[in-house]
Amino acid sequence: MFFTAMSKLNLQQNAQGNLQSLENTIKQREDNLTFLTAQTNHLDESILDLQVSLGKYHSANGTGTESESGLSWTEEDTIEQILKQENSAASVLCRLNSQQSSIQGLDLAFTKDVLGIVATLARVGEDNLSRLLSEYLGMQTMLAIVCRTYEGVKALEKYDEEGNINSTSSLHGAGSSAGKRINGRFLVICLEDLRQYVGEFADNDPQRKLALPKPKLPNGECPKGFLDYAVNLISLDSRNLSCVTANGQGLRETLFYNLFSCLQIYRTRTEMLEALPCVTDGALSLDGGVIRKSGVFFLGSRKDTEVKFPVASGKSDVPEDYIKSEAMIRMMKWERANILGDMRREQELLNCAKANIGGQA
């Protein structure tokens, strides 16, 4: 009898201890959710304040979106050329984006992780450089679809049990609904799987150019005629400068660093050839010279690609404070998204703890 009573007492004490532990866990989770909610509310207020200030700038200056800053070859021109690449995945995607409001019942959820087509994700300073870089990358790469994650890549194409493409789902199915079919293979680039730049950035540069060391000849001097690296000669819209990936990196240090690496740009072919001792990842010259990589040359006359990067018609007159405000908004939205993820996990843990305590009641 004595041992039975002691066993019952121990069980009661253990049950009370477990119950107290669950109650403490619930309290902790609720406190965490309260703290995270306060953080999101603070971020929402800060984002709104910055957006209001940007709105006042637009009202005072009569400006609109970045694409209205005046381009000699606009993004619309680039998209028009992409659309002419009939039955390509890039043309189907562009057509879907432009027609989605007019196609009844069209579900584009599978594109939520798509950033765009390579050719539409950057601008360059002048037409000749646009043609050079487009020729260097080639049509297949210029038409490549860029996704943030591998999940986004998988969502673009589905297969049946035999491994054949399901032409009625995802990008293929949506293309058929819009009256277009995809023929042949197409390139998709997954940002989270790319080798990312891990160095520093140029100081006080709103474009977040990479702080790559200048090439040096054996005598220690920078080659004559060296202009810059291709990865730093492109311009990115503010939305693509940072916070594109889950860890807050932008397109320059992910996508374009992988496409161009340390591709060097020179004024003339003669100066480019004189710099051969320090060319590692290829070089281009504005008069048409091409070194694909060390020891591999392209000769002959240039054939212009039909799809090229949009060309900016000069330096943007948007003030630096405006650019900094946009950068802050992007960072805050990225931080808010991370906090919302933490809140979802805390809520799941709270629900689990409440279910456990309900089972012991």
- The per-residue pLDDT for 57 is 54
- The per-residue pLDDT for 322 is 64
DSSP state of 305: -
Distance CA 266, CA 287 (A): 9
Q: Is the pTM of this model over 0.85?
A: no
Q: Quick count: other Cβ atoms within 10 Å of Cβ 321? A: 11
Contact 140, 276 (CB under 8 A): no
CA 137, 138, 141: angle at the middle one, nearest 5?
75
Q: How far is CA 275 from CA 206, 211, 220, 278, in A?
A: 30, 20, 12, 6
Distance CA 350, CA 87 (A): 50
Q: Quick count: other Cβ atoms within 10 Å of Cβ 51? A: 13
DSSP state of 261: T
Contact 126, 233 (CB under 8 A): no
- The per-residue pLDDT for 71 is 40
Which residue has 């392209």 as its token pair? 298
- The per-residue pLDDT for 217 is 93
Phi/psi for 94 (5° steps) reads -65, -40
Distance CA 284, CA 264 (A): 6
Helices (H), 267-319: 269-274
Please state at what angle helix 170-177 crosses helix 89-99, rounded to 10 degrees.
60
Contact 189, 255 (CB under 8 A): yes
Walking along the chain (361 residues) 10 residues at a time, the average pLDDT comes out as 53 64 81 87 79 59 40 72 85 75 58 88 86 90 92 85 79 75 87 89 88 92 92 85 80 93 92 92 89 69 72 58 68 75 82 74 55
Distance CA 335, CA 319 (A): 25
- The per-residue pLDDT for 82 is 86
- The per-residue pLDDT for 118 is 92
Q: Quick count: other Cβ atoms within 10 Å of Cβ 42? A: 12
